[in-house]
């Protein structure tokens, strides 16, 4: 008996400040399989049939490339895979990569 490919629901929330070309950014993420959530700025959904690790890497890569197609001040990203939240990331303008937000241990 063949195992059916189970699809994972993906929800991505991007907090971006000072973006100059939202249309160009969204054209890129749509081309990569993400859908814009209507009436929710910078919220995207998709379905994935790969592993959680591969899906996470894909999300970070797609949104990094999309942001690099435009000018913006800063960006933060958080996503859920099958309703499981993952830690937040911020876009590091020095390395041009998304980096994991480190928790402040002094609180």
Residues 6 or more apart whose Cβ sits within 8 Å of residue 13: 42, 43, 77, 78, 79
The answer to the question of residue 105 being in a domain is no
Split into its structural domains, the chain has a count of 1
Report which of residues 38 and 104 the model is more confident about: 38
| Cα angle 80, 27, 69; round to 5 | 90
* Domain extent at residue 87: 8-12+19-100
Report, as an integer, the average pLDDT of 83-97. 95
- Cα–Cα distance, 87 to 5 (Å, whole number): 26
- Token pair recorded at residue 60: 């970070």
Question: Based on C-alpha coordinates, what's the Rg of the chain?
Answer: 15
Q: Are 70 and 21 in contact (CB under 8 A)?
A: yes
Instruction: Return the pLDDT at 103.
Output: 74
Tens digits of residue pLDDT in 10-64:
999 999 999 999 999 999 999 999 999 999 999 999 999 999 999 999 999 999 9
Instruction: Return the pLDDT at 1.
Output: 41
């Amino acid at each position: 008996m063949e195992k059916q490919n189970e699809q994972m629901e993906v929800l991505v929330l991007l907090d971006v400040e000072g973006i100059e070309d939202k249309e160009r950014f969204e054209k890129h993420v749509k081309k990569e399989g993400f859908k814009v959530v209507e009436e929710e700025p910078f919220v995207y959904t998709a379905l994935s049939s790969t592993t959680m690790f591969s899906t996470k890497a894909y999300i970070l890569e797609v949104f990094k490339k999309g942001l690099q197609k435009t000018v913006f001040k800063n960006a933060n990203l958080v996503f859920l895979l099958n309703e499981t939240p993952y830690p937040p990331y911020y876009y590091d303008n020095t390395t041009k990569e998304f980096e994991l937000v480190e928790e402040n241990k002094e609180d």
